Amino acid sequence: SMLAYIDKRVSGGESFQRIADSFHVELPWLTNRHGQTHEGMESLEKLSLQDFASLLEDWVSERHELCGGEALCCAAIRGDIDELTRLLLDNAWDAEDRFGITAGEYAIYFQQVEALEMLMKVGA
Protein backbone atom coordinates (compact mmCIF):
# COMPACT_ATOMS: atom_id res chain seq x y z
CA SER A 1 0.00 0.00 0.00
CA MET A 2 1.03 3.60 -0.44
CA LEU A 3 0.96 4.18 3.32
CA ALA A 4 3.37 1.29 3.98
CA TYR A 5 5.62 2.45 1.14
CA ILE A 6 5.76 6.03 2.48
CA ASP A 7 6.27 4.82 6.04
CA LYS A 8 9.25 2.74 4.92
CA ARG A 9 10.85 5.68 3.13
CA VAL A 10 10.21 8.07 6.05
CA SER A 11 11.65 5.49 8.46
CA GLY A 12 14.72 5.49 6.23
CA GLY A 13 15.14 9.21 6.85
CA GLU A 14 13.49 10.74 3.79
CA SER A 15 11.36 13.87 4.11
CA PHE A 16 7.88 14.18 2.62
CA GLN A 17 9.30 16.84 0.30
CA ARG A 18 11.95 14.49 -1.07
CA ILE A 19 9.40 11.72 -1.57
CA ALA A 20 7.02 14.12 -3.35
CA ASP A 21 9.91 15.24 -5.55
CA SER A 22 10.58 11.62 -6.52
CA PHE A 23 6.94 11.39 -7.66
CA HIS A 24 7.28 14.72 -9.52
CA VAL A 25 4.40 16.31 -7.58
CA GLU A 26 3.88 19.76 -9.05
CA LEU A 27 3.44 22.77 -6.78
CA PRO A 28 0.41 24.19 -8.67
CA TRP A 29 -1.36 20.82 -8.27
CA LEU A 30 -0.50 20.76 -4.58
CA THR A 31 -1.83 24.28 -4.11
CA ASN A 32 -5.06 23.45 -5.96
CA ARG A 33 -5.44 20.18 -4.07
CA HIS A 34 -5.46 21.96 -0.73
CA GLY A 35 -7.43 24.96 -1.96
CA GLN A 36 -5.04 27.40 -0.37
CA THR A 37 -1.66 28.98 -0.93
CA HIS A 38 1.31 27.11 0.48
CA GLU A 39 4.83 28.05 1.35
CA GLY A 40 5.96 25.63 -1.31
CA MET A 41 6.75 21.97 -0.98
CA GLU A 42 7.97 22.56 2.58
CA SER A 43 4.30 22.63 3.61
CA LEU A 44 4.17 18.89 3.05
CA GLU A 45 6.09 18.34 6.27
CA LYS A 46 3.05 19.59 8.20
CA LEU A 47 0.91 16.68 6.99
CA SER A 48 0.36 13.45 8.87
CA LEU A 49 1.76 10.26 7.35
CA GLN A 50 -1.78 9.17 6.46
CA ASP A 51 -2.63 12.51 4.82
CA PHE A 52 0.61 12.54 2.86
CA ALA A 53 0.01 8.98 1.62
CA SER A 54 -3.51 10.00 0.60
CA LEU A 55 -2.15 13.04 -1.24
CA LEU A 56 0.30 10.87 -3.20
CA GLU A 57 -2.44 8.37 -4.01
CA ASP A 58 -4.48 11.26 -5.44
CA TRP A 59 -1.49 12.46 -7.46
CA VAL A 60 -0.82 9.01 -8.88
CA SER A 61 -4.52 8.51 -9.62
CA GLU A 62 -4.70 11.79 -11.52
CA ARG A 63 -1.56 10.88 -13.43
CA HIS A 64 -3.25 7.61 -14.44
CA GLU A 65 -6.02 9.62 -16.05
CA LEU A 66 -3.50 11.78 -17.92
CA CYS A 67 -1.12 9.08 -19.01
CA GLY A 68 -2.77 8.00 -22.29
CA GLY A 69 0.23 6.66 -24.22
CA GLU A 70 1.94 5.92 -20.93
CA ALA A 71 -0.40 3.02 -20.24
CA LEU A 72 2.48 0.61 -19.62
CA CYS A 73 3.69 2.73 -16.71
CA CYS A 74 0.18 2.99 -15.32
CA ALA A 75 -0.30 -0.78 -15.53
CA ALA A 76 2.96 -1.27 -13.64
CA ILE A 77 1.82 1.14 -10.91
CA ARG A 78 -1.38 -0.85 -10.48
CA GLY A 79 0.38 -4.20 -10.78
CA ASP A 80 -2.10 -5.12 -13.52
CA ILE A 81 -0.44 -8.21 -15.02
CA ASP A 82 -3.12 -8.79 -17.67
CA GLU A 83 -2.79 -5.23 -18.92
CA LEU A 84 1.02 -5.40 -18.83
CA THR A 85 0.91 -8.60 -20.88
CA ARG A 86 -1.35 -6.99 -23.47
CA LEU A 87 0.64 -3.76 -23.63
CA LEU A 88 4.01 -5.49 -23.93
CA LEU A 89 2.87 -6.96 -27.23
CA ASP A 90 2.89 -3.47 -28.78
CA ASN A 91 5.20 -1.40 -26.57
CA ALA A 92 8.84 -1.36 -25.61
CA TRP A 93 9.43 -2.54 -22.05
CA ASP A 94 11.62 0.52 -21.41
CA ALA A 95 9.15 3.17 -22.60
CA GLU A 96 9.19 6.26 -20.39
CA ASP A 97 6.34 8.43 -19.25
CA ARG A 98 6.44 12.21 -19.62
CA PHE A 99 8.61 12.43 -16.51
CA GLY A 100 11.23 10.02 -17.83
CA ILE A 101 10.19 7.19 -15.49
CA THR A 102 9.87 3.62 -16.80
CA ALA A 103 7.32 0.96 -15.94
CA GLY A 104 10.06 -0.98 -14.17
CA GLU A 105 10.85 1.97 -11.94
CA TYR A 106 7.17 2.34 -11.05
CA ALA A 107 6.92 -1.39 -10.29
CA ILE A 108 9.85 -0.97 -7.88
CA TYR A 109 8.38 2.18 -6.25
CA PHE A 110 5.04 0.51 -5.68
CA GLN A 111 6.49 -2.87 -4.76
CA GLN A 112 4.65 -4.61 -7.59
CA VAL A 113 6.90 -7.67 -7.53
CA GLU A 114 4.98 -9.71 -10.09
CA ALA A 115 4.88 -6.78 -12.52
CA LEU A 116 8.62 -6.19 -12.04
CA GLU A 117 9.38 -9.86 -12.64
CA MET A 118 7.37 -9.77 -15.85
CA LEU A 119 9.17 -6.65 -17.06
CA MET A 120 12.55 -8.18 -16.18
CA LYS A 121 11.71 -11.26 -18.26
CA VAL A 122 11.31 -9.06 -21.32
CA GLY A 123 14.42 -7.01 -20.72
CA ALA A 124 13.94 -4.43 -17.95
- Kindly report the pTM of this predicted structure: 0.54
Q: CA 34, 39, 40: angle at the middle one, nearest 5?
A: 80
Alpha carbon 23 to chain centroid distance? 5
User: Residue 103's closest CA among 89, 93, 117?
Assistant: 93
* H helix intervals, the chain: 2-11, 16-22, 27-34, 49-66, 71-78, 81-88, 103-109, 113-121
* pLDDT tens digits, one per residue of 6-22: 898 899 999 998 888 87
Contact at 8 Å (CB) between 84 and 76?
Answer: yes
User: Residue 27's closest CA among 41, 37, 42, 9?
Assistant: 41
Q: How high is the pLDDT of residue 49?
A: 92
SS3 63: helix
Cα 110 from Cα 2, distance rounded (Å)? 7
Q: How high is the pLDDT of residue 68?
A: 47
Average predicted confidence (pLDDT) for the chain? 80
Q: How high is the pLDDT of residue 11?
A: 95
Q: How high is the pLDDT of residue 59?
A: 81
Instruction: With a cut of 50, list the residues of the chain below it in pLDDT.
Output: 36, 68-69
DSSP result, 47-58: S-HHHHHHHHHH
